[in-house]
Chain A
Amino acid sequence: MTGPNILKGRTWVWPDDVNTDIIIPFRFKARTNDPVEMAKYCMYGFDPEFYKKVRPGDLFVAGKNFGGGSSREQAPVAIKYSNVVAVVAESFARIFYRNCFAIGLPALEVPGISKQVKQFDEIEVNLQDWSVKTRDGGAHPALKVPEFLRGLMLEGGLVEFYKKHKSFLWEKLEAVPA
C-alpha cells in the first residue's frame, strides 16, 4: 500500500546519540543559507561522502537521542534536502524534534526500533496512523504526538502553514492536555 501518507524506502541505520555536529558541522552550515548546499554535508561526521550515497526516498532509523546538541535547524534541513523522507528514532533531542515538525520532516519516536531494522532494509512509515512497518511485516506504533504537530508536519511545516492559513496554529491553541 502506498499513498501520500505511506513512505516506503531503504533505511540508513544510525547509532545512539547522533548529534547535530555529526549531522552537519558548523563550519559548513555557517557558510551557506542554501538548503541544497547544506545537504552536501549531511552526516559528514560519519561519512563525508554520504551525500553521494543517499538516494531519494531513503529513510533514517536511529537509536536514542537523535539530533542532540546544537539548535541548528540546518541539521534536519540537510536531511530533508538529501531527500530522506522520514526519521525514525528511539528518541529525539528536544530542539531537533521541534525543528523537524517546523520544517515538515516526519520524525517518529519508536522505542526499540533500531534493533528491529538493519542497514538498507526496506521499511514503511505510515504518517496517517503514525507507525512503522518493518521488513518482517511487524507493525510498530510510534509514540503519540499532539494532533496539531502532526498536522503542521503534514502541511509541510511553519512556512507552508503560514502561507496557507495566514496565522500560526498556536494563535488558536489554548491548551492541549497531557
Chain B
Amino acid sequence: MTVPLRPDILNDNSLTFAEKIISIRAEGGEKVHHPGEITVLPADMAMAQDSTGPLAIKVFGEMGVPKVWDPSRIHLVIDHTFPAADEKVANLHHLMRDFAKKHGVRLVEGSISHQHLLENHIVPGMVLFGADSHTCQAGAVGAFATGIGSSEMAAVWASGKLWVKVPESLKVNLTGQFKKGVYARDVISHFIGMVGEDGGNYRSIEWKGPAVKALSMASRACISNNSMECGCKLSVFEVDPATQEYFRSVNRKPMYEVHAGTKARYKDEYDIELDKLEPKVAEPGNVDKVKAVEEVEGTPIDEAFIGSSTNGRYEDLLVAAKVLKGHKINSGTRCIVTPASRLVFEQAIKEGLAEIFLQSGAVFTNATCGACVGTHLGVLGENEVCISSSPRNYVGRMGAITAKIYLSSPATAAASAIEGKIADPRRYL
C-alpha cells in the first residue's frame, strides 16, 4: 500500500499523536482533522479472534459480499478458547478455519492475537482495526490500533476501511524509577484507579516523560493493553530509540514515526512518579477499585492466575518464576501460568521457567487467553476467590457470578499463590 508522505502534518507542533496519524492516513483528506471530527481510515490490518470472528463471518455472509478486500491483511486468531474446550467451541473454530481457507486470509492458532501481531506484524504508524477491545495494545509501538465489534469487522473485511472519530487526548507524564516489586501493571492499575473505568472513554492516551525510555517493549505493551480498562480508543508510546532497536532486531520497517507536537492540546494531563508507587490490587467487581496491596493483604484465595494479553509475556513469566523459585504453591490454592504466545511458551521452556513453575506446583498451560475469559483452564466455581494478572475482575468474568476476582501484577499473584492469600511480592524478591 502506498501511503502519502505528509511532512507538513507530521511536523506540525500543535497536533497530538491521534490528530496526526488520523490526518495523514485519512482517506482523500488534504486537511488536518481535529477532535470530534469524523473521517474514514483505510486499514493496514484487520484482526478478529475466536469469540468475535465467528459472528463477523456470519455477518459477512449475510451482507452477501463475495470476497474480502485483501486477504493478506486479514488475520483470524484462535486464542480465547484454544484448544477448543468442547464441541460447541470446536464448531465455531471450524467456521474460522473454513473461512480462512475459502478467502485465503491468515489463520493463527494458539497465540493471543495482540501478542502474535506485535511479535510478527505490527509496525509504527500502521492502522489496525481489531475485533477485540485490547487491540489498543499495538499503540505501544506507535501504531493506530483500536477495538471494534464483529459487524464493523465484517465491513472492514469487505471494504478495507472504517469511519473513525478523532479522539481528544490525555497525556501522562511518567517520571522516576520503579521500586522493588512494582511493575508496568502497577502503573496502569494506578492510572485506572485515578481516572476511573470510563476516564479514558473515547480518548487517546499518550504515555510520555523521562521514565518511558526505561520501559521495555513488553512493559509498554502491558500499559497500552490495559489502558482499555479505562475505555480508551488509543494508548500510545511514540517511537523512541528502544522502539527503533526493537524493530531493527525483528527486521521490520516502521511505516511512520508519529510524534505529538510539544504544543499539542490535551484534554487532561497527569503525572505519575514511579518511585511513589507500590504494588496495586484492584478489588472485585470494578477495575478502578484500586488499592495498595497492604490494604487487601491476607484475603484468602482459591486460585492465582498469571497470564493473559495484559501480563502473559516473557518478562511477566520471568518475574513470576523469580517469586516462585524455591517455594511451593499453598496446598489449598491452584496456580495457573499461561503464556501469551507460542514464542513466550517456547522461551519459558528453553530458559528453565517451566521447570520452576512445575516444581512449585503450578500448572503451566499452552498459550491462550485461558482463565481470563472463564471458559477453560481455570474456571472459578461459586464463591471462589482468585487473584489474577488478567485485565478484568467483572462479575462472572472467570466463571460463577458469585466468584470474586482481584487483579494484580504477576509478581503479586505469584506471591499470593505461595501464601494462599493475597500477599506482598516484595518479601519474595
Contact = CB atoms under 8 A, between A and B. Distances in A.
A27 B376 CA distance: 9
A65 B131 CA distance: 20
A64 B33 CA distance: 28
Interface in B197-220: 197-198, 201-202
At the interface, is chain B mostly helix, strand, loop or mixed? loop
B63 interface: yes
B163 A17 contact: no
Contacts of A72: 51-52, 149
A93 B31 contact: no
Contact of A158 (B34, B63, B399): B63
A82 interface: no
A159 B151 contact: yes
B41 to A, nearest CB: 9
A79 to B, nearest CB: 13
A29 B51 contact: yes
B149 A71 contact: yes
Given A22-B396, A95-B148, A173-B163, A31 B59 contact: no
B383 to A, nearest CB: 15
Interface in A72-99: 72-74, 77, 91, 93-95, 98-99
A25 interface: yes
Interface in B132-149: 132-133, 135, 147-149
Contacts of A48: 401
Contact of B89 (A30, A46, A102): A30
A17 B286 contact: yes
Interface in B56-102: 58-59, 62-65, 80-81, 86, 88-89, 92, 95
B280 interface: no
Contacts of B298: none
Given A93-B201, A94-B201, A175-B38, A170 B373 contact: no
Interface residues of B, number: 69
A21 interface: yes
A176 interface: yes
A39 to B, nearest CB: 14
A31 B151 contact: no
Interface centre among A26, A98, A178 (most CB of B within 10 A): A26
B118 interface: no
A101 to B, nearest CB: 9
A177 interface: yes
Contact of A163 (B64, B150, B379): B64
B374 interface: yes
Contact of A74 (B55, B198, B286): B55
B159 interface: yes
Contacts of B151: 73, 99, 102-103, 157-159
Interface string B146-165: 01111110110011011100
Interface in A161-175: 162-163, 168-171, 173-175
Given A21-B396, A70-B133, A91 B148 contact: no
Contact of A73 (B26, B55, B88): B55
B187 to A, nearest CB: 21
A45 interface: yes
Q: Which interface residue of A64, A74, A163, A178 has the most chain B CB atoms within 10 A?
A: A178
Most B CB atoms within 10 A — which of A21, A73, A169? A73
B123 to A, nearest CB: 23
Contact of B52 (A19, A71, A94, A168): A71
A94 B233 contact: yes
A164 to B, nearest CB: 11
Contacts of A128: none
Contact of B36 (A19, A94, A103, A178): A178
A32 interface: yes
A12 interface: no
B6 to A, nearest CB: 16
B373 A26 contact: yes
A46 B394 CA distance: 11
A75 B393 CA distance: 18
Interface of A: 17, 19, 21-22, 25-27, 29-33, 44-46, 48, 64-65, 68-74, 77, 91, 93-95, 98-99, 102-103, 146, 148, 157-159, 162-163, 168-171, 173-178
26 contacts: A21-B396, A25-B401, A27-B373, A29-B51, A31-B88, A68-B231, A69-B229, A69-B392, A71-B148, A72-B52, A93-B198, A93-B231, A94-B231, A94-B233, A95-B148, A98-B149, A99-B150, A102-B152, A158-B59, A159-B151, A163-B63, A169-B163, A171-B40, A171-B159, A175-B29, A177-B37
By Cβ-Cβ distance, the 6 closest A-B pairs, closest first, are A178-B36, A73-B149, A99-B149, A21-B394, A31-B88, A176-B38
Given A31-B88, A65-B198, 20 more contacts: A21-B395, A26-B397, A31-B86, A45-B396, A46-B395, A69-B133, A71-B131, A71-B132, A71-B135, A71-B148, A71-B149, A95-B147, A157-B151, A158-B59, A158-B151, A158-B154, A170-B161, A174-B28, A175-B33, A178-B34
